Amino acid sequence: METKKLCLALYTGSVDKLTAAGIILSGAAAVDMQVDIYVLLMGARAFRKDVGDDSGKLHMAENASLKAEFLESLKSLNVKTWVEFFREAKSITDVKIHICGLAGKVWGGEKLGDFIDLADDICGIGAYIESAQEADVNLFI
């Protein structure tokens, strides 16, 4: 059977949507999909080394007043953080995480070392467009 490809444009920098992306990524890894993630705009901030897995530094996209309840619920249910979901998926299947060069610069990241170790490279938006055209599934979160 041919390996399917998921292309994910990760625009968000919110903890709730990053967690959702991690869950989707986990499902893609479970069925051995090849995954290309393009981290755009607000997403690039979440991938900075000084933000990374510190959910306290991330906002909620939906109903900001529920952030503490959301994080506490995840903790009590022993749900992984979004970074742990991403790290686990990378250990299971072919996952590449690309930081958009402009998005990185917007948030003070100009080199790969400015971002958490999950990031594989920095690229232009054309790489995302090409990947999206080739993908079996293309999502924008």
CB of 10 closer than 8 Å to CB of 134: no
Residue-wise pLDDT for 111-133, tens only, equals 999 999 999 999 999 999 999 99
CB of 78 closer than 8 Å to CB of 84: no
For the chain (141 residues), the mean pLDDT of every run of 10, in chain order, is 92 94 96 97 94 81 88 94 95 96 95 96 96 97 95
Q: What is the pLDDT of residue 64?
A: 84
Q: What is the pLDDT of residue 23?
A: 97
Q: What is the pLDDT of residue 1?
A: 65
Q: Which residues contact 87 (CB under 8 A, 6 or more apart)?
A: 118
Domain boundaries, given as residue ranges, for the chain: 5-140
Q: Which CATH superfamily is domain 5-140 in?
A: DsrEFH-like (3.40.1260.10)
